[in-house]
């Protein structure tokens, strides 16, 4: 893996993965980061990486749905491995505009698979990053495993399920060397503020309402983003080709408990007498359509085969996350104001 193509590398998980990889001793290759820079992508999150690794990091603004453009990049940089993050990923947006999810998540994945298929002599791995949402909803008991049937309940989840099936089919049909990972909810530095944890942190700091869907008892497993990056690299390096691995944080929490924990930590670390106790800002709002009740990941296979376990508990991870946002309010301001989008237009057209 000397020329690793990372798609969606300016997004939340992708940018963390770029940092993770270039900080490792067991990866000495070059990263080619391709991102079309939609609203949630921020290349300024990697400015320091661009400066620190001029010979090992390349950023190209490109759309994975543009087959000829991706083919040119693939050949120009001698791509020999792909880690595919690029996706539309926000469930609420998929309900309003499902077409964008079909295009990026399905057609974009297909284009990359076709490139890989026609370079069998060069491509060593196609790793596809997916989600536990493809499995649908769990009752109060049980866990998602690698053999759980797919039952997606939102356009986002359905588009990711389709892309998973395509990747697996290209392995079975064409012998493409692939691995797939299905992860639980990620959180940590550089996450776009539309997601639950950064939204609650930033609203609570400003004394704004803290919206919680339904009764707040929807359960998610929370995975700190650097733990996710570590798991992906273990799978890419040592995982069985053709195999799927679930990645979870072993931290099931109802949404309301997550929100209350953030309120309590901020009351402790960033008290504001004008705001008062932040739990009083919680506002239960109408539930979204098709809102899955519970997700829970069984990551036993990943632990058994590759020795991976998460390094962060929810308690340590959420404190790290809150501290990062408090220490990086300039980044937050640029994202909330849209300043980064103006910068993108000036530099990339």
Helix H or strand E encompassing 147? none
Residues with active-site annotation? 132-133, 156
CA separation for the pair 130, 150 (Å, rounded): 12
pLDDT for residue 349 is more than 70: no
Q: Which has more pLDDT, 347 or 338?
A: 338
Q: Identify the DSSP state of 135.
A: G
Which has the minimum average pLDDT: 24-33, 139-148, 301-310? 139-148
Q: What is the mean pLDDT of residues 117-140?
A: 93
> Under DSSP, is residue 60 helix (H, G, I), strand (E, B) or coil?
strand
pLDDT at 348 (0 to 100): 72
pLDDT for residue 346 is more than 80: no
The whole-model pTM stands at 0.94
Q: Identify the DSSP state of 148.
A: P
The CATH class that applies to domain 3-187+224-249+295-311 reads alpha beta
Name the token pair of 163. Answer: 């892309």
Domain boundaries, the chain: 3-187+224-249+295-311
- Please list, residue by residue across 244-269, b when 16 or more beta carbons sit within 10 angstroms of its beta carbon and e when fewer do: bbbbbbbbbbbbbebbbbbbebbbee
Q: Is 70 exposed, middle or buried (0-12, 13-18, 19+ CB in 10 A)?
A: buried
Report pLDDT digits (tens) over 35-94: 999 888 889 899 999 999 999 999 999 999 999 999 999 999 999 999 999 999 878 889
């Amino acid at each position: 893996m000397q020329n690793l193509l990372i798609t969606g590398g300016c997004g939340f998980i992708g940018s963390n993965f770029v940092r993770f990889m270039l900080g490792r001793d067991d990866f000495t290759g070059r990263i080619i980061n391709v991102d079309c820079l939609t609203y949630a992508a921020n290349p300024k999150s990697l400015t320091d990486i661009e400066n620190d690794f001029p010979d090992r990091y390349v950023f190209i603004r490109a759309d994975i749905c543009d087959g000829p453009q991706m083919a040119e990049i693939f050949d120009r940089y001698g791509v020999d491995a792909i880690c595919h993050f690029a996706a539309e990923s926000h469930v609420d947006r998929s309900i309003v505009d499902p077409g964008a999810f079909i295009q990026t998540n399905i057609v974009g994945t297909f284009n990359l698979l076709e490139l890989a298929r026609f370079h069998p002599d060069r491509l060593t791995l196609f790793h596809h990053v997916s989600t536990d949402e493809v499995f649908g909803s769990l009752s109060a008991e049980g866990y998602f495993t690698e053999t759980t049937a797919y039952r997606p309940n939102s356009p986002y989840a359905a588009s990711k399920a389709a892309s998973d099936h395509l990747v697996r089919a290209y392995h079975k049909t064409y012998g493409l060397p692939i691995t797939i990972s299905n992860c639980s909810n990620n959180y940590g530095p550089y996450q776009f503020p539309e997601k639950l944890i950064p939204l609650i942190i930033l609203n609570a700091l400003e004394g704004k309402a803290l919206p919680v869907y339904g009764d707040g008892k929807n359960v998610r497993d929370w995975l700190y983003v650097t733990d996710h990056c570590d798991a992906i690299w273990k799978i890419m390096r040592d995982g069985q080709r053709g195999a799927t691995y679930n990645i979870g944080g072993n931290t099931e929490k109802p949404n309301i408990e997550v929100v209350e924990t953030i309120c309590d930590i901020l009351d402790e670390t960033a008290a504001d007498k004008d705001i008062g106790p932040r739990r009083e800002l919680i506002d239960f709002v109408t539930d979204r359509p098709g809102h899955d009740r519970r997700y829970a990941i069984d990551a036993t296979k990943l632990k058994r085969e590759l020795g991976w376990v998460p390094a962060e508990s929810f308690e340590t991870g959420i404190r790290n996350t809150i501290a990062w946002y408090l220490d990086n309010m300039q980044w937050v301001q640029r994202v909330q104001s849209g300043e980064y989008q103006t910068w993108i237009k000036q530099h990339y057209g």
